[in-house]
Amino acid sequence: MGKLWEALDRQCRVCSRIRLSVGVALLAVVVAAVLMGAGAAGLAWTNSEKFCATTCHEMRDNVYAEFKDTIHDKNRSGVRAICSDCHVPREPGPMLLRKVEATFEIWGKLTGVIDTKEKFEKHRAELAHRVWRRMKTTDSLECRNCHNDAAMDPEKQSDKAKSRHAKGKADGKTCIDCHFGIAHKEPEGPGPQEMKF
């Protein structure tokens, strides 16, 4: 670092300080752009179905296998959700927070917490509760990425669905309170409505 500073100091004698300042500022902008681009590419890659569902056998053999052929995978509209649509918020702040939380989940991968079907089943309720708790805290933000209340046409819902949605709203419920287990096998024990915070 000292040699670099001496070289810059010698250069300053030859060229103006303004030119050097502009050069250093341009270099800083280029470095920042490269870092931001790499960060954005990393975020996009970790949100991909390939990364989430098939990179590790724990997800591929358990929850991704359950997801296949569900309404979120195949439906009459052709709109398909992938892992990140339901498990990662789209807004920058909440998305970055979720990514930071997810880095702590790497420890489970490294230590083999759920590396067999039996271990995964043993931890299924704990894993589901963690997701349900987060979704209840955010008012099912991830669901609302695709399902917008204002865009829903109540006339296309059954009378039963209209009634339940109205009651749920009146009772302060959120999507995950009723629509859990829609893409994955339900764990034994209480559902999201019975969870206490």
Instruction: pLDDT tens for the chain, 197 residues: list them.
Output: 678 777 766 766 656 666 667 777 888 888 888 887 887 888 888 888 888 888 887 888 888 999 998 888 888 888 888 888 888 888 888 888 888 888 888 888 888 888 899 999 999 999 999 999 989 988 998 888 888 888 888 888 899 998 999 899 999 999 999 999 888 988 988 888 887 76
Q: Which two tokens stand for residue 190?
A: 């209480």
How far apart are the C-alpha atoms of 135 and 82, rounded to whole Å? 17
| pLDDT for res 159 | 92
Q: What are phi and psi of 112, to 5 degrees?
A: 75, 30
Q: What's the full length of the chain, in residues?
A: 197
What angle do helix axes 17-46 and 92-111 make, rounded to 10 degrees?
Answer: 60
- By three-state DSSP, how is residue 151 classified? helix
| pLDDT for res 146 | 85
Do residues 51 and 65 make contact, with C-beta atoms less than 8 angstroms apart? no
- From residue 196, give the alpha-carbon distance in Å to each of 98, 133, 162: 22, 9, 27
| pLDDT for res 194 | 83
Run of H or E including 67: helix 63-67
As a 3-state breakdown, the chain gives helix, strand, coil percent values, each rounded to 5, of: 70, 0, 30
Do residues 123 and 117 make contact, with C-beta atoms less than 8 angstroms apart? no
